[in-house]
Amino acid sequence: MIAKRALWSWGLIAPPFAISVLLFVGPLLYLFYVSLHGTSSSQLYDSEWTLANYEQVFSDPFYLVIIRRTLITAAIILLLSLLIGYPVAYRIARMPVRRRTIAMLLLLFPLMVSNVVRAYGWVAILGRRGVINTTLRDAGVIDVPMALLYTPDAVVIGLLTILLPYMVISITNALVGLDPRYEEAAQALGAGPIRTFFHVTLPLSSPGVASGLLLVFLLTLSAYVTIAVLGGPQSKLLVSLVYDSVVSFQWPMAAALAFTLLLIALAISGLIMALIRPGRVQAGRR
Amino acid sequence: MSDIDVRLDNVSKEYGAVKAVDSVSLAIERGTIYSLLGPSGCGKTTTLRLIAGFEQPSSGEVLIRGTRVNDVPPYKRDISIVFQSYALFPHLTVGDNIAFGLRMRRVPRAERDKAVAEALNMVKLGGYADRYPRQLSGGQQQRVALARAIVIKPAVLLLDEPLGALDKMLREEMQVELRQLQQRLGITAVFVTHDQEEALTLSDRVAVMRNGRLEQVGAPREIYERPRTEFVAGFLGASNFFDGRVVARREGIAEIEIKGWRVQARDEGSAGERVRIAVRPERTWIGAPGEFPHAARVREIIYRGSSTHYYLESEAGPVLVYRQNDAPGQGAWQPGSAVSCGWAPESGVIVAPVDLQS
């Protein structure tokens, strides 16, 4: 009986499992294989095995600067999205159901506009002849337009406005699912609103915080359009280098950079989970 | 007159047009358990939440140890609470859960550790301090919640159906344990429950609530044996109800005529001729025809282990009789048997009928 059910469940997951092996794991292994070879002018890659690509990524200052910039940009976006997103989520979670549904829909609404359109929207605001610069110049505050566009700050602002809803929605869901009796128990034990928040509400919402951070971080690493449009040539991130390597036919280097990105994604995701330990409040399942 | 730890003066709580709590006044003496008993929606939980401070009264006054606390938030009231769901903090160990209230009161570490260890021993969970709540059984979690609530020595302990999530055996065990603990420590407690047996077992006083009002307040025995209304008589255990007409009154006993029956019932100041009386099934007798005043016929017999329930049909309507299984003559009747029934005059109680109450 049990064996039959186990067989059934294996049967059900077999097709997606096969597809993901065929179309994801397989190509990924092939990509790793490619990354361990040199660039060839006639072939996809050189036949010689080498670690040169990785050595270059991890020693060449050009790459190191961009890796550092990628990590710093991601850290700033994570911090800001948490600091801005949590209070918003906290407020939304305490709304009556109807208003909460409307608020969530409003949050999703900007996501319906293409990233390309939104990036150019920021260009219209931040550019040399953008809204900010022309307004300030007309008001006589500045003579020379400020360089707002093509800076790391522009990238942060652009990505933040795209990614914030993911953070807010993750945390809101965690807070809505929280039994209000936890907070009441804390209050009855003498904890005021601030201590109730830091000792009870915040730790209990950690699964939402963790999933929000993961989503925002992984989406930051893979965002391309926003970085390309708002960052320009000076504010490239790691993902831009993958693209640059591909369009210059340096396939093995592109593969090595892709694996560097994957490594960073895994390491930082692991760090987020280790720091926040969302598992400790997920009672019931061991 | 002993100290009053909790007093409600004419407290009402309205949600729009709905009166969840309607002009409730009560006083709870130090060191006693006061139960709020009633069906769901009767206002018992709202009353508890008004004492805790999670709700503010629409009118009236809430006093804890003589101080008006209407405008005092829960965390500044001298209370603690145990919920049915326990609400143990899952990210804290058992020890840290119990220490939580002490930490909030800035009790020094050494003193705190000592109090936590004591509290754990009190609920027979010594050595469990380093476990997490999810590693404990429901009964153990219940004890931790109790320890967490009593370790801060609140003026009043609020219990919101704390045993409701336990199975029957464990619940009865915990009732006795909770009672012993409360008496040993002299705790004042408010106990919300819809379980009448639990209320009778645990309480010094029981307040039966209905539609936001206190229907009757008294000691368990008083509430059970001298219900003033049909609702109380029906909610606490089973009752036989009869409608009749008072034909004579003397010395606290009323002579009542019920469709040709002449019965007697305790009369505590009832007015008017038409009355409803309640008689407990365990105080109703069954016997051979002619043994008791009223003729009846057995409709159904249900064997219940320690007792047998007889459902009788009589000219005054259905009559339910509980009979201990060690009583003589047990097994003499079958469905359809002709029998007789009756009760002692003081076993009948005149009650206010539900349909005459607001």
Q: Using an 8 Å CB-CB cutoff, list chain A residues near B76.
A: 190
Beta carbons of B132 and A182 less than 8 Å apart: no
Record the pTM.
0.85
**DSSP readout, B170-203?**
HHHHHHHHHHHHHHHHT--EEEEES-HHHHHHH-
Nearest to A179 among B53, B74, B87 (CB): B87
Beta-carbon-side half-sphere exposure of residue B59 (alpha carbons within 13 Å): 7
Structure tokens at A148: 């707002």
> Which residues from B are below 8 Å from A200, CB to CB?
89
pLDDT for A284: 47
Residues of A in contact with B100 (CB under 8 A): 186, 189, 191, 199
Tell me the C-alpha distance between A162 and A116, whole Å.
Answer: 11
**CA angle, residues A181, A186, A187, in degrees to nearest 5:** 95
Distance CA A143, CA A146 (A): 9
For residue B167, the one-letter residue type is D
Residue in chain A nearest B160 by alpha carbon: A181
* % of chain A residues with pLDDT over 90: 69
**Nearest chain A residue to B102, by CA:** A189
The pLDDT profile of chain B, 358 residues, written as one tens digit per residue, is: 469 999 999 999 999 989 999 999 999 999 999 999 999 999 999 999 999 999 999 999 999 999 999 999 999 999 999 999 999 999 999 999 999 999 999 999 999 999 999 999 999 999 999 999 999 999 999 999 999 999 999 999 999 999 988 888 889 988 999 999 999 999 999 999 999 999 999 999 999 999 999 999 999 999 999 999 999 999 998 899 998 888 888 877 888 888 778 888 887 766 677 888 899 999 999 998 988 888 999 999 999 888 999 999 998 889 999 998 887 766 778 899 999 999 888 888 888 887 654 4
Q: Tell me how close the Cα of B176 comes to any Cα of chain A, in angstroms.
A: 24
Q: How many CB pairs under 8 A join A and B?
A: 77
Average pLDDT, integer, range A202-219: 96
Residue contact A191–B90, C-beta within 8 A: no
CA distance A211 to chain B (A): 18
**Dist CA A23 CA B214 (whole Å):** 70
CB-CB under 8 Å, B132 with A189: no
Distance CA A265, CA A276 (A): 16
Q: Note the pLDDT of residue B358.
A: 44
pLDDT tens digits, A10-30: 888 899 999 988 999 999 999
Name the residue among A181, A184, A280 with its Cβ closest to that of B91: A280
Look at residues A111, A199, A90 and name the one whose alpha carbon lies nearest to residue A161.
A111
- For residue A191, the model assigns a pLDDT of 96
Which residues are within 8 A (CB) of B331 and not within 5 positions of it... i.e. 6 or more apart? Answer: none
Q: ipTM of the predicted structure?
A: 0.87
Interface contact flag, B74 A282, Cβ < 8 Å: no
* A186/B100 Cβ within 8 A: yes
Residues of A in contact with B54 (CB under 8 A): 184, 187
Asked if B90's CB is within 8 angstroms of A283's CB, the reply is yes
CA distances to B247, B256, B342 from B261, rounded to whole Å, are 12, 8, 10
Q: Report the run of H or E that residue B100 belongs to, with start and end.
A: helix B94-104
Cα separation of B50 and B74, whole Å? 10
Burial B90-118 (b: 16+ CB within 10 A, else e): bbbbbbbbbbbbbbbeebeeeebeebbee
Residues 6+ apart with CB under 8 A from A243: A224, A228
Query: Is A184 close to B81, i.e. CB distance below 8 A?
Result: yes
Whether the pLDDT of residue A253 is over 50: the answer is yes
The residue among B46, B86, B89 with the most chain A CBs within 10 A of its CB, best to mutate, is B89
Task: State whether A190 and B75 contact (CB < 8 Å).
Answer: yes
What's B10-59 look like in SS3? EEEEEECCEEEEEEEEEEEECCCEEEEECCCCCCHHHHHHHHHCCCCCCE
- Closest approach of A169 to chain B, Cα-based (Å): 23
**CA of B76 vs chain A CAs: smallest distance (Å):** 6
Q: What pLDDT score was predicted for residue A140?
A: 87
B132–A203 CB contact, under 8 Å:
no
Instruction: Compute the average pLDDT of residues A228-253.
Output: 90
Across the interface, do B83 and A286 touch by the CB < 8 Å criterion? Answer: no
Q: How far is A89 from chain B (nearest CA, A)?
A: 21
Q: Which chain A residues have a beta carbon less than 8 Å from that of B53?
A: 187
Nearest chain B residue to A286, by CA: B134
